[in-house]
C-alpha cells in the first residue's frame, strides 16, 4: 500500500461519522405512517420508481459470518461501546455503523446523524424483507444502495496496514451486494467498492464484480488523497476501458475535492456545522464534473457513464455555463485539443440526482435534458426525503407528461445502471 498522505487517510476514517451525531438531543418528527405511506400515487401508475441514492447498513455479522479462519480476527466486527453500535477491527474503533434517522415506529429523528443503535432504528436499514416492505409503502420499486459506514472506504482500509485483509473485506462486501440483489428479486442494487491502492487487485476485483452483475462502482473524486494517481493517469486505463466496454457506471456519491467542514465557521455547534457542510459537499461535485471535462478522459473513453449522486441538480446549469465561459477565457490551449464542449460532455456522459429540490425538476429538465436526471430519497439518512415521497414526486413532476415522468423516475436509471426491467 502507498503511504502517501497518512494524515488525510486517518482523518477521513475518523470523521466519516462524527460522534456528536449520536449525542442526546435532536427533535422527533412524528409520522402518521398509515396515512402517509400508501404506495404509488395514481398519477405514477405503470412507473417502476427507481430510488438512485439510498444506504444499506452493513449487517453486524456481515464480515465475521463470511470470513475464513485465516481472516476471522482481521475483519470488522460489531461491538456496542458507550451505548453506540460501532465497527471494530481488533482493538481499534473503526467508526459507527452509519446513518439511520428512521425509527422502528417510523418517526424521524432530526438534528442527528443516526439513532445510536441498530435496535432503535428501522430494521429495513439492514434487513432485506423489512426494506422491501418499506419500499412498497413508499411507492418505490427499486433502490441503488450505497454503504452506510466508513468500514469499506479505501482510506479506512488502507489505514489498517494489512493489504491482504483489506482486499478480503471488500470481496466479502461485494459478494453480499450481489447476493442481496438476487435475494431482493432484482430490486436492491448495491454498488461495489474496490481496492483502489493496488492496481492489479483493483482490476481483478472490478472484473469479478462485473461478472457478478453488480451495477456500478463507487469511487472517490480525488484519488490522489489516497496516494493513487488521478484518473487521467495510466494507472486507471485498464479499469476505465473495462467500465466503458461493459457500460458499467462510475459513481461519485457526495464527494468533494474541497474540505467542506473547513468552510463552516469554527464557532458553530454540531447542527450548524452539519448544515453548512451538507450544502458545500453537494456543490463540491461541480469539481468532479469539471475535472473530468477538462482532463481529456471523456475523449479517450467517450461512452464512459458517470453518476453524480446526492448532489442535486440545481447547480448544474451555473457550473456548465461557467465551464463554457472558462473554456474560452482560461483554457485557450487545452480546450482546442478537447473534442467536445461542456454541455456536450454533460449530455453524453453524466447523470445527476434530485430529491429535496422543487425548482430544479420543475424548471430545469428541458435545460439539462430529461434523460440526464435521476430521482433519489437518501433513505434512511438525515437529509432523506422521508416522509412525503409520493407527494413530492407529484409536486415536482406532475406538470410533465407521463412519458417524461417515466423517463426521470425509471428509464434513466435503467439506462445508467443496466437494470433488468
Reference 127, options 183, 64, 172, 185; nearest CA is 183
Q: What local confidence, expressed as pLDDT, does residue 9 receive?
A: 47
Residues 237-256 pLDDT 10s: 999 999 999 999 999 998 76
Contacts of 369 (CB under 8 A, 6+ apart): 347
- Round the average pLDDT of the chain to a whole number and report it: 93
Reference 57, options 218, 176, 213; nearest CA is 176
Full-model pTM:
0.94
Cell numbers 454503504: residue: 147
Region of 252 (left: φ > 0; alpha: ψ -120 to 50; beta: rest) is: beta
Q: What local confidence, expressed as pLDDT, does residue 260 receive?
A: 78
Residues 64-101 pLDDT 10s: 999 999 999 999 999 999 899 999 999 998 888 889 99
Q: What local confidence, expressed as pLDDT, does residue 1 receive?
A: 40
Residue pair 214/220 in contact by the 8 Å Cβ criterion: no
Contacts of 204 (CB under 8 A, 6+ apart): none
Grid cell of 189 as nine digits: 442494487
Choose the weakest-confidence range: 19-33, 237-251, 312-326, 403-417: 19-33
Listed as own residue / partner, the contacts of 179-184 with beta carbons closer than 8 Å and 24 or more positions apart are 180/56, 180/128, 180/145, 181/213, 181/214, 181/215, 183/128, 184/128, 184/131, 184/132
Grid cell of 17 as nine digits: 461519522
Reference 368, options 335, 338, 342; nearest CA is 342
Q: What percent of the chain has pLDDT over 70?
A: 95
Reference 410, options 360, 368, 370; nearest CA is 370
Residues 211-236 pLDDT 10s: 999 999 999 999 998 899 999 999 99
Give the domain ranges of the chain.
6-417
What are residue 397's phi and psi, to 5 degrees? Answer: -115, 0
Choose the weakest-confidence range: 226-230, 282-286, 336-340, 358-362: 282-286
Q: What percent of the chain has pLDDT over 90?
A: 83
Reference 310, options 248, 230, 256; nearest CA is 256
Strand, helix or coil at 173?
A: helix
Most confident of 18-27, 256-265, 363-372: 363-372
- Assess whether pLDDT exceeds 50 at residue 3: no
Q: How confident is the model at residue 193 (pLDDT cuts 50, 70, 90)?
A: very high
Q: What local confidence, expressed as pLDDT, does residue 264 receive?
A: 87
CA distance 68 to 71: 6
- Assess whether pLDDT exceeds 90 at residue 166: yes
CA distance 286 to 315: 8
Q: What local confidence, expressed as pLDDT, does residue 36 receive?
A: 95
Q: How confident is the model at residue 281 (pLDDT cuts 50, 70, 90)?
A: confident
Q: Which CATH superfamily is domain 6-417 in?
A: Metal-dependent hydrolases (3.20.20.140)
Residues 347-361 pLDDT 10s: 999 999 999 999 999
**Residue 10 burial (CB count, 10 A):** 14
CA distance 397 to 172: 39
Q: What local confidence, expressed as pLDDT, does residue 94 receive?
A: 87
Over residues 394-417, the mean pLDDT reads 98
Residues 318-334 pLDDT 10s: 999 999 999 999 999 99
Q: How confident is the model at residue 17 (pLDDT cuts 50, 70, 90)?
A: low
Reference 132, options 183, 60, 174; nearest CA is 183
Amino acid at each position: 500500500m502507498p503511504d502517501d498522505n497518512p494524515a488525510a487517510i486517518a482523518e477521513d476514517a475518523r470523521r466519516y461519522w462524527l460522534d456528536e451525531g449520536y449525542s442526546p438531543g435532536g427533535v422527533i418528527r412524528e409520522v402518521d405512517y398509515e396515512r402517509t405511506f400508501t404506495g404509488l400515487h395514481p398519477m405514477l401508475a405503470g412507473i417502476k420508481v427507481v430510488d438512485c441514492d439510498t444506504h444499506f447498513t452493513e449487517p453486524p455479522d456481515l464480515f465475521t459470518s463470511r470470513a475464513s479462519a485465516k481472516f476471522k480476527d482481521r475483519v470488522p466486527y460489531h461491538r456496542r461501546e458507550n451505548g453506540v453500535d460501532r465497527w471494530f477491527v481488533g482493538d481499534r474503533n473503526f467508526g459507527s455503523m452509519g446513518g439511520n434517522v428512521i425509527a422502528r415506529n417510523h418517526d424521524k429523528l432530526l438534528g442527528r446523524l443516526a439513532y445510536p443503535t441498530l435496535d432503535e432504528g428501522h430494521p429495513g436499514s439492514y434487513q432485506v424483507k423489512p426494506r422491501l416492505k418499506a419500499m412498497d409503502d413508499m411507492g418505490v420499486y427499486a433502490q441503488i444502495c450505497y454503504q452506510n459506514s466508513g468500514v469499506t472506504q479505501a482510506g479506512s482500509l488502507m489505514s489498517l496496514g494489512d493489504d491482504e485483509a483489506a482486499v478480503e473485506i471488500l470481496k466479502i462486501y461485494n459478494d453480499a451486494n450481489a447476493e442481496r440483489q438476487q435475494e431482493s428479486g432484482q430490486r436492491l442494487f448495491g454498488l461495489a467498492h474496490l481496492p483502489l491502492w493496488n492496481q492489479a487487485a483493483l482490476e481483478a476485483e472490478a472484473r469479478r464484480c462485473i461478472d457478478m452483475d453488480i451495477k456500478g462502482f463507487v469511487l472517490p473524486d480525488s484519488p490522489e488523497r489516497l496516494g493513487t494517481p488521478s484518473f487521467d493517469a495510466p494507472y486507471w486505463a485498464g479499469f476505465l476501458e473495462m467500465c466503458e466496454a461493459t457500460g458499467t457506471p462510475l459513481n461519485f456519491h457526495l464527494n468533494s475535492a474541497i474540505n467542506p467542514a473547513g468552510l463552516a465557521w469554527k464557532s458553530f455547534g454540531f447542527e450548524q456545522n452539519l448544515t453548512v457542510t451538507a450544502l458545500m459537499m453537494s456543490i463540491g461535485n461541480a469539481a468532479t464534473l469539471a475535472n473530468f471535462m477538462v482532463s481529456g478522459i471523456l475523449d479517450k473513453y467517450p461512452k464512459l457513464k458517470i453518476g453524480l449522486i446526492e448532489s442535486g441538480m440545481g447547480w448544474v446549469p451555473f457550473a456548465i455555463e461557467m465551464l463554457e465561459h472558462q473554456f474560452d477565457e482560461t483554457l485557450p490551449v487545452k480546450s482546442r485539443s478537447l473534442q467536445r464542449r461542456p454541455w456536450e460532455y454533460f449530455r453524453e456522459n453524466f447523470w445527476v440526482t434530485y430529491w429535496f429540490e422543487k425548482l430544479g425538476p420543475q424548471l430545469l429538465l428541458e435545460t439539462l435534458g430529461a434523460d440526464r436526471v435521476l430521482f433519489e430519497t437518501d433513505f434512511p439518512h438525515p437529509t432523506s426525503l422521508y416522509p412525503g415521497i409520493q407527494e413530492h414526486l407529484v409536486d415536482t413532476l406532475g406538470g410533465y407528461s407521463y412519458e417524461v415522468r417515466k423517463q426521470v423516475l425509471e428509464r434513466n436509471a435503467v439506462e445508467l445502471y443496466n437494470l433488468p426491467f
